[in-house]
Structure 1
Amino acid sequence: MPGTSGRLSLDLIKCSAKRISAPATCTEADLRRATSDLYYALFHALCEELAQLVAEAPTDVGYRDTFIMLYRMPNHGPVVQRCRDAISRSDMTTVQKEFAETLMTMKAKRDLADYDPFAVFNISEVSNDLMNVTRTLNRFLAEKEKERRRLALFLGLDVRRAR
C-alpha cells in the first residue's frame, strides 16, 4: 500500500502529532490542520480496509484501478450516517462502535476546523483528540481482519435499504 508506513492513516497521525509538538510556537492553523489530520487518519483507515479487499492479487490485470475505486468509494456524509447506524447495532464489537463514534466526532471537529473561521481550538483539546484517535486507530488495527473489513464494508458502502 502507498505511504512510508504502509498506511496513510498512520502517517496522518504522525503529521498531527508533529503539528502540535511545540506548544509554544503552535499556531491556530497548526491546531486546525492537526484536527483535520486526525479525522482523515480515521477516514483513510476505512478506505485502506476497503481497498485491501483486492490486495491479495496485486499483479492481476485491473488491480490498481480496482484498488483505487474501492479506496475512493466512501463518501463522507453517508459514512457519518452509517456510523450512527453502527453504534446502535448489537452485532458490532466494542472496538467497531468506538471507531464509528470517534470517526463521527472527528468529522464534526474537522468541519469546524476547515470551515468555521470563528471556531477556537486549544492545544489541550487537540492533544486529547490525538491520544483518543491514536488509541482508537490502534485498537481498530488490532482487531481481526474480518472484523475490520466488515466495519469498512458497513461504513464505506452507501447501500440504500430496500423498502
Structure 2
Amino acid sequence: MPRLGNLLVYDLLDVADGLVRQTGRMNLRKASMRRAVSSAYYALFHAMCFVCAAVVVGWSRTGELEPVYRMLDHGQAKKRLTSAEAAQIDPRVADIGAAFALLQEQRHLADYSPPSLPVSRDQTLILVARAREAVTALESLNDDQRRRLAVLLITKTRLA
C-alpha cells in the first residue's frame, strides 16, 4: 500500500511504539503509556490533516498548505467520521471513524485524567495497533474516496 506523504504520521506511531516499551519506575511507565496513547491519536489526526491538504491544495504547495492542513477540527472530525455519510464513502471510512473516536476518547483520558488513572500496557498496545490499522485503511483509499472524505471533514455544514 502507498504510504501517505506526511512522515510525521509514521514518526508519531514509532514514538508511540517506543513509549510502550518504556521501563523503569511505575510512574515513568504510566506516563509513557499516556503519551503513547496521545501520540497514536495524533498520528491518525495528522493523517487526516494530510489527506485534506493533499486533496484540496496538493502537498507540494506549501504556501496554501498550512491553512488547509489546520482546518480540521477534532470534535467535528469525530462527529463526521462516525456519521452515516462517512460510511457511504467506503466501509473502511466507518472503521477509521470508529478508531478515531476511540483514540480521541482515550487521548482525553490519558491527557487530562488525574495520576490515579489505571494504565495498561496491553490496552496501550491495542490502541497503538488500532491507530496503525486506521492509517493503513486511510492509505488504501483511492483518490476519489480521499476527496470525498476531505470534503466531508472540512466543509461547513448548512442547515436546510
Q: What aligned pairs does 1:1-163 form with structure 2 within 5 A after superposition? A: 6-22=6-22, 27-53=29-55, 54-55=57-58, 58=60, 63-86=61-84, 91-117=88-114, 118-155=116-153, 157-163=154-160
Spell out, residue by residue over 1:89-146, the C-alpha distance to the aligned partner (whole angstroms, 9 max, x if none): 5523111111111001100000001111142211000011111211221122122122
- Larger mean Cα displacement after TM superposition, 90-99 or 66-75: 90-99
Residues 1:89 and 1:19: Cα distance change in structure 2 (over 3 Å): closer
Instruction: State whether residues 36 and 110 of structure 1, in contact with CA within 8 Å, keep that contact through their aligned partners in structure 2.
Output: yes
- Distance across 2 between alignment mates of 1:28 and 1:149: 39
- Distance across 1 between alignment mates of 2:103 and 2:120: 15
Instruction: State whether residues 10 and 43 of structure 2, in contact with CA within 8 Å, keep that contact through their aligned partners in structure 1.
Output: yes
Spell out, residue by residue over 1:43-101, the C-alpha distance to the aligned partner (whole angstroms, 9 max, x if none): 10000011112227x3xxxx323100110001111111112214x65523111111111
* Matched pairs, number: 152
Give every structure 1 segment of 4 or more consecutive aligned residues whose post-TM-superposition deviation is greater than 6 Å.
Answer: none
**What TM-score do the two structures reach when normalised by structure 2?**
0.84
SS across alignment from 1:91: helix
- Which stretches in structure 1 are left out of the alignment for 5+ residues? none
Compute the displacement of 1:152 (Å).
2.8
Identity of aligned residues (%): 25
Q: CA RMSD in A?
A: 2.1
- Which stretches in structure 2 are left out of the alignment for 5+ residues? none
- Distance across 1 between alignment mates of 2:109 and 2:147: 29
**What TM-score do the two structures reach when normalised by structure 1?**
0.83
